[in-house]
Amino acid sequence: MKRWDLLAVGRLGLDLYALEEAPKVTTRAFGAFVGGNPLNVAVGAARLGLKSALFSAVGDDAVGEFVLGRLAREGVDTRFVFTKPGRRTPAVVLFREGSTYPMTFYREAAADWALDLDDAAKVAVEEVRVLFVSGTALAREPSRSTVFALAERAKAADVPVYLDLDFRPSLWEDPRAYGLVLRSFLPLVRVAIGGEGEVRALRLRSVRLKAHQATEPEVEGDLEEAVMDVLGRGPEALVLKGGDRGAGVFFPDGKRLWREAFPVKPLTPLGAGDAFAAGLLWGRLRGRPWEEALLLGNACGAIVASRLGCGEFSPTAEEVATFLKERGIHVG
């Protein structure tokens, strides 16, 4: 019996989300939440009933105390969240202007990028069922080498590594390095997860940000070529997130599955992809086939898209069951 179902690796921080839909200059009210791709997945998994833990770091500051307190309240094991004196716990500020969501990352001297090999040595990765890695954890040293070392240990222990591509171009010193680094990491990965732009970015031709929309950059590249490249480097599956079109899974033998999204009225799309990943992992760790796991992921993503924030707005198993039942779907 493994000690944890899921160990998520990478960034965390404070999310300040505008509570009103208004121009930036007139926005006054913000909600304080926690966020970051691996944190959101860990919280989402815990809400679905999985035993989840996080490998990350906070600064010796009040924001770090806030984040750790929220994680404890959510039931996420933080024994592998280390404190880095002299470093800062990151933050994100998000505005809501019509149908756009301008976002700014504050990651100067980010604590999670200071994770090192000594920290990795303290992590019982052999005692987890799935190691979930955020691509952003590979953007800087010493975090990059630390994650490589942890993933090598996981693979040696037959612990599946799930990689969320998590492309945030502003968090790389040169966005072109993203593809180089992640392609070299893929042989350690059993399942890769990403949006179409994130997959294209593995063979990046160009990238453009509009209005500081750091979550959905416009990426030019050949999607089909990138998909085949991923699957040729070792992963057993590539899960492709298609937003409001749904999601699919691609296999090296050419087989493909696709599940349509659930139509909902979105409040913000942010965090929906992380909720999708949590739901997908929940399904796979319960032994569900890929088609059902995609269904559960889509349900979790749709629910969070209709709410304001990310991890702390993830659904419980009961909420997912109710959501599906209302649509005439029963999942055991």
Distance CA 136, CA 9 (A): 10
pLDDT in tens, 314-330: 999 999 999 999 999 98
Do residues 136 and 11 make contact, with C-beta atoms less than 8 angstroms apart? Answer: yes
* Of residues 177, 164, 185, 184, the one with CA closest to residue 204: 177
Assigned domain for 179 exists? yes
Assigned domain for 218 exists? yes
| Confidence (pLDDT) at 331 | 83
CA-angle at 299, arms to 236 and 313, nearest 5°:
110
- CATH code of the domain in which 258 resides: 3.40.1190.20
**CB atoms near residue 306 (< 10 Å):** 16
Assigned domain for 183 exists? yes
Distance CA 134, CA 157 (A): 20
| Confidence (pLDDT) at 212 | 47
| Helix, strand, coil percent values for the chain (each to nearest 5) | 40, 25, 35
Confidence class for position 213, pLDDT limits 50, 70, 90: very low
Assigned domain for 19 exists? no
Confidence class for position 205, pLDDT limits 50, 70, 90: low
- Flag whether pLDDT at 251 surpasses 80: yes
Distance CA 165, CA 138 (A): 10
- What range does the domain containing 170 cover? 4-13+36-90+108-325
Assigned domain for 22 exists? no
Q: Which residues are catalytic?
A: 274
Assigned domain for 53 exists? yes
Number of domains forming the structure of the chain? 1
Assigned domain for 21 exists? no
What sign does the dihedral 260-266-106-206 (CA atoms) show? positive
Assigned domain for 136 exists? yes
